[in-house]
Amino acid sequence: MSEPGMPDGVGLLFPGQGSQFVGMGRDLAEAFPLARQRFEEADEALGFSLSRLCWEGPDDELTLTRNAQPALLVHSVVAWDLLCAEQEPPVALAAGHSLGEFSAYVVAGSLSFADAVRTVRRRGELMFASGQARPGTMMAVLGLDDAAVEQACAAASVEGSVVVPANYNAPGQLVISGDRDAVARAAELLKAAGAKRVLPLNVSGAFHSPLMQVAEAGLREHLAGVELHAPRFPVVSNVTAEPVTDAETARRLLVEQLTSPVRWVASVQRMAGSGASRFLELGPGNVLSGLARRIVKDAPARALGTAEQLSTFLAESAV
């Protein structure tokens, strides 16, 4: 429920790494000239054909952190632009999962499209380099509460080897991240504690953990040279699960996000309590709209990432 006196509106959700797939956005570019124009702008900003990589692959190249991050941002922004070309929804707040937070700041008017594409490309390079400098890994944990996962991570972090909760995705669904030996120890403790499943993730580093500290200086330096504006509507930070309304707070938290957990459950709950009566996921896939329905029971949530999904939504809205 929203806070008393809070006008109801839409909560925008923007997916992060892992939602990319070969062919992403191609149907949008084929159906809408505006979408093709945006992909061309991204190609120009990066100096190579990101659009071809999105539409034709190969998958192992698209999945690389430095490529997946701009690909996801472009797809999300394209979906938003197409939606607004017909009718801009009454937005209460926005939030993005990890990389998706940059997409949120683009649609909120804080970051220019070209700057954002280049920034997340750089972010991906820095995160990959950080993973090379201090190799780590991540695992998804299903079927345990937050406290049990936090306790296992604390117990498994010994002798300078660290594992921490990285993503609080949904009740009973967390991701842990850290040094490989610590993650392996935590996995055994979590199984013994009754976890339904503990699944390794195919990642190039221990994202959202102290192991990403190497990337912080580089991203801070890059963002110092990028113009940011106050968002037109609040963007809920992954780090604090609180709305951000000014540019300098956004700049600081986008750096801190590298080594902080994604507090997605708390973020979606904050959105629901601050005026978001329904959720729209903009970009590839439907992971976040599914999580929103789990976090806020029976919340109206739908994904808008394909030409068919957008056309159907706009047709329904016009009735």
Closest C-alpha to 80, from 313, 319, 315, 287: 313
The residues that bridge with 12 in the sheet, in sequence order, are 94, 280
Closest C-alpha to 72, from 272, 288, 216: 288
Alpha-carbon gap, residue 310 to 83, rounded angstroms: 7
Q: CA dist 56 to 21, 129, 195, 316, Å?
A: 10, 26, 38, 32
Is-catalytic flag, 98? yes
Closest C-alpha to 246, from 228, 223, 224, 264: 228
**Exposure b/e, 234-248, CB count within 10 A at least 16 = b:** bbbbbbbbbbbeebe
Running DSSP on this structure, what letter comes out for residue 2? P
- Pairing mode of beta strands 276-282, 163-170: unpaired
Is-catalytic flag, 260? no
Residue of 19, 51, 76, 98 marked catalytic: 98
Residue of 208, 209, 237, 267 marked catalytic: 208
Residues with Cβ within 8 Å of 279's Cβ and at least 6 positions away in sequence, in order, are 10, 11, 12, 13, 268, 271, 288, 289, 292, 299, 300, 301, 302
Which tokens go with 29? 């570019």
Phi and psi of 306, rounded to 5°? -120, 165
Phi and psi of 188, rounded to 5°? -65, -40
Residues with a known catalytic role = 98, 208
